Amino acid sequence: MIKFTINENNNFMEYVKGKPYFCYSTEKVKQYKYLDCDIKCEVLIIGGGIDGAIANYYLSKKFDVALVDKGRIGMGCTSCATALLEYQLDDFASDLNKYMTKDEIIMAYNMGLEAVQKIEKFIKKYGNNCEFALRPTFLYTNSIFTVQKIKQEYYFRKNNGFDCKLYESKNNPFPFPIKCGIYVENGGCEFNPYLFTKMMIENSNNQSKIFENTNIKELTKTHNGNVAITNFGEKIVCKKILIATGFNWEVLNKSDLCDRFITYSIVTSPIKEISWKEKALVHDATSPYHYLRTLPDGRIIFGGEDSVFKEKPISESKCNKKYDKLAKDLFKLFPEMKGKVKIDYKFCGCFGTTSNNLGLIGESKIDSDILLFISCGANGIINAMAVTSVIEDILMKKDNPLIKLFSPKRE
Ligand SMILES: Cc1cc2nc3c(=O)[nH]c(=O)nc-3n(C[C@H](O)[C@H](O)[C@H](O)COP(=O)(O)OP(=O)(O)OC[C@H]3O[C@@H](n4cnc5c(N)ncnc54)[C@H](O)[C@@H]3O)c2cc1C
């Protein structure tokens, strides 16, 4: 018998706060049963956010995979990702060269471009049920102190075969002021991250082994293999465990796999008059950085103002100050919106960063049977999409040049 519990708020308490636009504005399509008996599988994925869903889709083609989430699929940090899916990394190439060789940086940029194509291929196969659109990317600054960095980055990309264009104040095609910016015609895409996660789950090969409202409380090893135990005492016996719990690492009894931050977002009411060149994904590289994009119903989503993630639950009063600051900065960019446009949604969530901007993907330091699949950085989703082959190759004991770049043992 299929059993359901309604427990939607489970994820919302500690790592996410507010009213995430993507899951509040979307009908929830399907609910999965919770685990009520012991099961066996080759690979157990713990966490049904976008990372777990991506891993599950690809791994379930080759392995016997089960996926569990302690709440509802896609309602953790995934629900508040603004989903600007850009091929570049968070830092400039000139800052990344402390952690990666030039060839590795180029490989990471190419990996981002390939991930955009991989998402497009998936959408072509199953239909566009997640508001997907290819978009140009625009990384800019309006501060004289960041101009040099942007120009250096532009020449790095140009000289290494990446197609891009430099805009300056004299040829600025955007409706807000810039000093300079890098425009990449085929640099990214956007989607509704909550719906994309659902699509990944619903089109995977293991429908009978997806469980919601199934909280893993303990991991142990026995002579039969690795065992994950739920809060109701059900056991999942498996060869490998993939941790895709986002930035909640309580199941590993860990609090420090990488640095954690909170990033804040606001969503406007629908606006008819304002748009910009090709609805590009816009990233202001000035510190503190901001990011913005349009939504299919004419709204603008605007985010940034990151702060260090310290306290749980996230402080309400701190969030309100951040949302007010974001609204002020948005109206500075588009003064004509002031008084006409409302802020309909405000939310924030936790994300992690690493020195080379890449996720923690591969064998953990804790145990070689425990693998991590934790995407990091502002373009974590692109990272996750790009490196499913890393996990496949680790499981099949094959070499892959990306293993080293993403290894959780490097941090
Ligand atoms: C405001 C904001 C904006 C962002 N914008 C972007 C962006 O523009 N582009 C981009 O690429 N990335 C962006 N990100 C980052 C992106 O959201 C994350 O990289 C991504 O959502 C992480 O997905 P996840 O599946 O790892 O985590 P989550 O979505 O948090 O999923 C983890 C899941 O694990 C489950 N879980 C945890 N513990 C257990 C347990 N013990 N047992 C069972 N289940 C468990 C949780 O219930 C949860 O559903 C943004 C993040 C935030 C907060």
The runs of H, that is alpha helices, within 11-165 are 21-24, 50-59, 93-96, 102-126, 144-159
pLDDT at 274: 77
With beta carbons less than 8 A apart as the criterion, state whether 237 and 40 touch: yes
Name which residue sits closest to atom 38 of ligand 1, judged by CA. 245
pLDDT at 192: 96
pLDDT digit string (tens) for 276-316?
999 999 999 998 899 999 999 999 999 999 999 986 777 88
Compute the distance from residue 49 Cα to the ligand 1 centre, in Å.
6
Rounded distance between C-alpha atoms, residue 373 and residue 290, angstroms: 26
Report residues whose beta carbon is within 6 angstroms of any ligand 1 atom.
11, 46-52, 68-71, 76-78, 80-85, 215-216, 244-246, 248, 251, 263, 265, 303, 348-349, 351, 374-375, 378-382
Residues whose CB falls within 8 Å of the CB of residue 264, separated by 6 or more in sequence, listed in order: 303, 304, 305, 306, 319, 322, 323, 326, 346, 347, 348
pLDDT at 12: 46
Pocket test for ligand 1, best of 293, 314, 381 (most atoms within 8 A of CB): 381
CATH classification number, 30-81+194-257+358-410, choose in 3.40.640.10, 1.10.150.120, 3.50.50.60, 3.40.718.10? 3.50.50.60
pLDDT digit string (tens) for 52-75?
999 999 999 999 999 999 999 999
Rounded distance between C-alpha atoms, residue 38 and residue 33, angstroms: 14
Bridge partner residues of 140 (DSSP): 181, 284
Compute the distance from residue 380 Cα to the ligand 1 centre, in Å.
9
Distances (CA, A) of 45 to 146, 162, 229, 239: 42, 36, 13, 11
pLDDT at 314: 79
pLDDT at 255: 80
**What's the per-residue H, E or C state across 348-379?**
EEEEEECCCCCCEEEECCCCCCEEEEECCCCC
Per DSSP, the three-state class of 177 is coil
Name which residue sits closest to atom 2 of ligand 1, judged by CA. 81
pLDDT at 7: 39
Q: Which residues of the chain have pLDDT under 70?
A: 1-13, 29, 311
User: What is the β-pairing status of strands 235-243 and 370-374?
Assistant: parallel
Compute the distance from residue 261 Cα to the ligand 1 centre, in Å.
12
Pocket test for ligand 1, best of 73, 75, 78, 194 (most atoms within 8 A of CB): 78
DSSP state, 213? S
Nearest-Å Rg of the Cα atoms of the chain is 21
pLDDT at 3: 33
DSSP state, 250? G
pLDDT at 29: 67
Rounded distance between C-alpha atoms, residue 65 and residue 207, angstroms: 10
pLDDT at 272: 83
Per DSSP, the three-state class of 294 is strand
Residues whose CB falls within 8 Å of the CB of residue 23, separated by 6 or more in sequence, listed in order: 74, 75, 79, 194
Nearest to 248 by CA among 38, 10, 85: 10
Distances (CA, A) of 6 to 12, 48, 88, 192: 14, 16, 39, 23
